């Protein structure tokens, strides 16, 4: 509960009961929102400057407040600040200490503001900076992926649908798919900046204030772009929290897809990649084991981040306007999602640097499962001018024949092929070459080596 200098609550003259209630013990948010101390002090300083500029408080009072707030900031940074868990939150904690340091004049600071606008202002500032932080981390991921992709243009692997061999691809093309995903994540995170740039400070408890405040001044000084337009909505709105959580969930989902894919590829059954010792763990009983725990950790964390999104959506559902205590949990949810996501990206970056493609196995697997069947059907269309459906059916017959005779495309003789399609010329065998297949996919966005090289250049330029 909020206390002043004498360790009494701000509302002591209204609420007379003295003993701490159970709710006071469990209902405070100080342990979570103390993370906002820098933002809170900055917001208070700018608020005090504005009150002075508008002649609402005197020069002397303003200076005392700023002096006190500076000291409090230093105390917190130097870990000399004593958090009293009887303070409901960081705002009340700082206010109490301000009273201790500068006396009754501390009481001027809360003129023309409420914790309702104060807490969202702090949170928006924090979220804006930390959104940028995540975007930075994603840029590192993109850089690492690009470096790997550059070295892997000619590494051939099977592309899968339904986890069955589908068509041959370059390993680089696969890696670049993740750059697209992380670029979209960056965009989603940045989209939220529009809302994060609307300044809530000055809307008061919910209806604005009768003091002649200057919201444009605080907007500018706190690096917002404009003041929010409706005081009731401002206090009630947590859409910017949801937008962040949705962007975080999607990004985490992308990470989990990568993690799962690498887990499968690392399995003894697939053996398409090797993880080096930095990103595996051992077993307590099976001496031979090298387990991909970090990847499983990444896959699992997505569940926690989705949980954050669902918690916030549920808290907001049916909540009347404007502020209610329900909203207090928004900070814990945001911090959890941020911590989990930023740690996940950092860990993923480690993983990306510490695995390698097993080129031979990739190539061998790519040669299985009649992976060039589509190329063969396309060949019939191009060379013999067949409708695609006819070409598809002839190819299916050839595949069936191979299966029956226990052969692959490359071990078929031309006479066997001609029994099924008499018009075939000898050069058909080039169709079964994986490199040819990949290089033929020159359509924009396809896996041809040339396309990939162009895309790598494009992403590099974009990153600068
Ligand atoms: N600790 C509160 C929170 O984080 C601060 C806002 C309090 N406002 C109020 N009217 N109780 O949500």
The CATH number of whichever domain residue 375 belongs to comes to 1.10.40.30
Does residue 5 carry a pLDDT above 80?
Answer: no
Residues 103 and 134 in one domain: no
Q: Is 115 in the pocket of ligand 1 (CB under 6 A)?
A: yes
Q: Which residue's alpha carbon is nearest to atom 2 within ligand 1? A: 328
As given in the structure block, the two tokens for residue 79 are: 């870990």
Instruction: Tally the domains of the chain.
Output: 3
pLDDT digits (tens, 9 = 90+) for 303-317: 999 999 999 999 999
**Are 306 and 376 found together in one domain?**
no
Please identify which of the residues 58, 283, 356, 425 carries the catalytic annotation: 283
Q: Specify whether 76 is located in the same domain as 151.
A: no
Binding site membership of 101 for ligand 1 (Cβ less than 6 Å): no
Q: 377 and 335: one domain?
A: no
Model confidence at 385, in pLDDT bands (50, 70, 90)? very high
Which of 364, 389, 383, 377 is CA-nearest to residue 427? 383
Q: Which of 335, 350, 365 is the last residue of a domain?
A: 365
Its pTM stands at: 0.94
Average the pLDDT over 422-434 and give the result.
92
Query: What are the pLDDT digits (tens) for 186-233?
Result: 999 999 999 999 999 999 999 999 999 999 999 999 999 999 999 999
User: For residue 327, which atom of ligand 1 is closest to its CA?
Assistant: 12
Positive/negative CA dihedral, 402, 408, 409, 414: negative
* Residues 23 and 52 occupy one common structural domain: yes
For the record, the structure tokens of 387 come out as: 């409708």
Q: What is the CATH number of the domain that holds 260?
A: 1.20.200.10
- Of 43, 175, 181, the C-alpha closest to 114 is 43
**Is there a single domain that holds both residue 11 and residue 145?**
no
Residue 20 has pLDDT above 80, yes or no: no
Residue 10 is predicted with a pLDDT of 83
Kindly report, residue by residue over 450-461, the tens digit of the pLDDT: 999 999 999 999
The CATH number covering residue 37 comes to: 1.10.275.10
The answer, yes or no, to whether any atom of ligand 1 lies below 6 A from the CB of 330, is no
The secondary structure of 101-152 as a DSSP string is: HHGGGGGGTTTT--HHHHHHHHHHHHHHHHHHHHHHHHHHHHHHHHHHHHHT
- Average pLDDT on 36-46 reads 98
What are the pLDDT digits (tens) for 359-379?
999 999 999 989 999 999 999
Segments forming the whole domain that contains residue 375? 368-463
What is the average pLDDT score of the chain? 94
Q: Are residues 142 and 154 in the same domain?
A: yes
Same domain, 416 and 329: no
Tell me: do 155 and 83 sit in the same domain.
no
Residue 342: active-site member: no
Task: Look at residues 86, 111, 136 and tell me which one is the last residue of a structural domain.
Answer: 111
Residue 1 has pLDDT above 50, yes or no: no
| pLDDT of amino acid 4 | 55
Which among 365, 393, 413 is the end of a domain? 365
Percent of the chain with pLDDT over 90: 88
Is 286 in the same domain as 347? yes
Residues 122 and 234 in one domain: yes
235-245 pLDDT, tens digit per residue, is 999 999 999 99
């Amino acid at each position: 509960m909020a206390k002043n200098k004498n360790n009494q609550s701000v509302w002591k003259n209204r609420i007379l009961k003295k003993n701490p209630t159970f709710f006071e013990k469990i209902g405070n948010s100080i342990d979570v929102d103390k993370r906002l101390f820098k933002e809170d002090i900055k917001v208070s300083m700018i608020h005090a400057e504005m009150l002075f500029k508008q002649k609402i408080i005197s020069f002397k009072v303003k200076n005392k407040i700023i002096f006190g707030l500076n000291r409090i900031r230093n105390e917190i940074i130097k870990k000399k600040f004593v958090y009293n868990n009887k303070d409901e939150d960081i705002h009340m904690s700082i206010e109490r200490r301000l009273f201790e340091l500068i006396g009754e004049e501390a009481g001027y600071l809360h003129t023309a503001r409420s914790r309702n606008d104060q807490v969202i202002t702090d949170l928006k500032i924090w979220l804006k900076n930390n959104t940028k932080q995540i975007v930075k981390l994603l840029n590192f991921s993109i850089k690492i992926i690009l470096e790997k992709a550059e070295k892997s243009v000619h590494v051939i692997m099977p592309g899968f649908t339904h986890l069955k061999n589908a068509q041959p691809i370059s390993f680089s093309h696969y890696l670049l798919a993740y750059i697209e995903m992380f670029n979209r994540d960056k965009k989603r995170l940045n989209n939220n900046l529009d809302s994060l740039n609307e300044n809530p400070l000055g809307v008061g408890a919910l209806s604005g204030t009768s003091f002649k405040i200057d919201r444009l001044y605080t907007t500018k000084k706190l690096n917002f772009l404009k003041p929010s337009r409706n005081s009731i909505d401002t206090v009630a709105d947590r859409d910017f929290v949801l937008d962040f959580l949705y962007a975080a969930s999607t990004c985490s989902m992308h990470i989990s897809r990568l993690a799962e894919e690498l887990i499968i590829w690392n399995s003894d059954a697939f053996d398409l990649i090797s993880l080096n010792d930095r990103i595996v763990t051992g077993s307590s009983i099976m001496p031979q084991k090298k387990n991909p725990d970090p990847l499983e950790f990444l896959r699992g964390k997505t569940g926690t981040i989705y949980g954050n999104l669902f918690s916030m959506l549920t808290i907001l559902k049916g909540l009347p306007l404007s502020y209610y205590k329900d909203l207090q949990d928004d900070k814990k949810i945001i911090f959890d999602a941020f911590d989990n996501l930023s740690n996940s990206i950092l860990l993923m970056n480690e993983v990306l640097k510490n695995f390698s493609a097993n080129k031979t196995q990739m190539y061998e697997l790519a040669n299985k499962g009649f992976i060039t069947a589509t190329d063969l059907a396309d060949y019939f269309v191009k060379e013999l001018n067949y409708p695609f459906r006819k070409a598809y059916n002839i190819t299916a017959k050839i595949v069936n024949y191979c299966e029956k005779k226990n052969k692959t495309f490359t071990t078929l003789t031309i006479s066997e092929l001609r029994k099924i399609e008499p018009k075939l010329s000898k050069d058909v065998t080039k169709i079964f070459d994986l490199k040819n297949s990949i290089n033929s996919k020159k359509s924009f966005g396809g896996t041809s080596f040339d396309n990939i090289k162009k895309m790598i250049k494009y992403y590099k330029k974009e990153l600068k």
